[in-house]
Structure 1
Amino acid sequence: MELAKSRDFFLSREKNLTLSIVLLVGCYTALLCPAYFPGQPTIWREYSMQHELVEVLQNRSNSLLSQVCRPGWSRLKLKEAYPGQLPPGVPVFLQRGEGGWSQAHSERFLPPLGLHGSEEQAARALQGLPQTSLSPELEGGGLCRRCVVLGSGGVLRGSRLGPHIDRHHVIMRLNSAPVSGFEDDVGYRTTVRLTYPEGAPHSARQYSNTSLLVMAMYKSSDLDWFTAVVAKQPLGWWTKLWFWQTVVESIPLHAENFRILNPEIIRETALGFLGYPKPQQSLISLSQKVPTLGVTAVVMAIRLCDEVSLAGFGYDLKHPMTPLHYYGTLRMNAMGLQSVHDVGAEKMFLRSLVQAAAVNDLTGGVSW
């Protein structure tokens, strides 16, 4: 009898050991598999794959595009929401001569809010450009122009808004946001790609069907990069040291397809619309916030276009594991790791524009 009890005891220990190992392996599998094989989060899968939502987005876009374009509408509504802002006579692109950088030059702001200390580099960069004025697509020939500014938000993935986006007169894209391979969701034409050196695409095919590449300058060395790229000359090793990541050195566009964003646009976005404090003593400190290219592009578009729409905007920080972009693998929580941009202030600004009917939010992300 005692022998049987002893046998049962040891057998139960073996069963317990086996069960413990199985449970342990199961726990490790549950913890490690998502890290090594990240699947699409349930929230995003439900959001991007619902046929009903895609249909809602497309119906909204169709409704807007079927209406008659209203000349000067976005500018009018922005001025109603922000009286005293958006002064006339400010060129969107940097022009030859001091008139091209007006207040940003006269108040002696450093980059990115001005050109103080970089005037000679700016003049040299402009000398390499056959044209610094608006392109025919942006001038519009007196026609009422509808523009869409494409953010890179994951909300675009699966939207199938590409054909709707391509119906706009002007299509603005940001940094290295890809077109090739994503045409169903983001369209295939690019009127303006707004970028800075570290953000410019490295793949030549991403410049296909592109009318203008516009550089936003954040530091003096950006102008040296721009001059070299336009002239199709190698970038000096000393200049390369000033970039925080490898920059593209060859862009398959002609010199007439390049422009430089007037730093006045960045200045009015930062100090006027986002309410950032004015830098003291002409210095940009490490704690100084700068606008994202996305919100800067929106201000630029309102200056250029009659009706402005947004697509792919909005950071849903309440769901940190949703995709940050419609491409790549970054998640929303990556926005919490940066300290250069004030995402909250930008979201409030964009939301105010939507509420004032100054812009249309085609993908609905601004309201999150």
Structure 2
Amino acid sequence: MKIMLPVAGKGTRLRPHTHTKAKSLVHVAGKTVLEHIISRLTSLNATEFIFITDENGTQISEFMERKFPDLPCRYIIQKEQQGPAHAVSLAEEHIEPGEGLLIVFNDTIFEADLSRMEQLCADCDGLIYSKEVDDYRRFGVNVIRDGFIADMVEKPDKPVSKLAQVGLYYLKDGAGFMRYLGETIRAMEMVKGEFYLPAVFMRMIKGGCRFRAPEIDAWLDCGKPETLLETNSYLLLGRHHVHGSATDSVLIEPVHIEKGAQVIGCILGPNVSVAAGSVIEASIVRNSIINSESRVKNMIIQDSILGEAVHLISSARRMNIGDHSLIEMQGK
């Protein structure tokens, strides 16, 4: 089996954090999004990891060589941004007939037992992992009949299904899937000028292929700042780790302080992660991500993401306030 990770794309919803780095290298709960994803895949013993990158591909390859030097990796550049299905198609020549293919998109950290893929796929051609959601109108959903996917609807107005596609796909015959993908591209089946995978899967279903839609345990979106903070909170739950130094400080669990980070005279937490090289001094920080080499002093911050090498420094206020006064300093 091979594992493909399309990591191209500008990550516009995460700007300004993606102005200078690939979106999969944004930090959450002490690791990059990519590290969280790869660590969930290493036990599958894939013969190769195929990364579809953009011009930031060197960042991805350097990260993988540093963090996962023993994994066999291949890097393919998507020079024209024509959608996720086009990105996947670029690896066609590297997928052998009968070889399984797992496609993992990098906006999502998942919790799922992938060791059961072949078992779940015993009577079908592939798996399109899903998660039941309340607001089905925001997602592409799978419509199930007799245990198999009968239709796919993008952002339905009516509740035809609440099983949202999560960006995790397993194909029993990767080369066969690539043939259908090529047909879809040649037929120019596009949405707003881009190629998407649901069109490929529907072509396969009409051709007699069968897909199941197993539910994952958790779907952790990392595609925009507010969901990145929610994912940070989820991943920190039960993981109160202080690898750096925390002196004269109160830590409200969970907090993750990396080795090389310093916290001095602060109140941190809950749900705060501080990366290596950062110094937080005389501050109150809640529900926030502080990236590496940053400095925060005399601040009260919450629901915030600080990029690398950010300096956020204030000073104590001097006030002369009379009786019966009410002073409110709103943060928003």
Task: Flag whether TM exceeds 0.5 (same fold).
Answer: no
Q: How high is the TM-score relative to the length of structure 1?
A: 0.22
The structure, 1 or 2, with the larger RCO (C-alpha pairs under 8 Å, 6+ apart) is 1
**Structure with the larger helix share:** 1
**Structure with the larger strand share:** 2
Which has more radius of gyration? 1
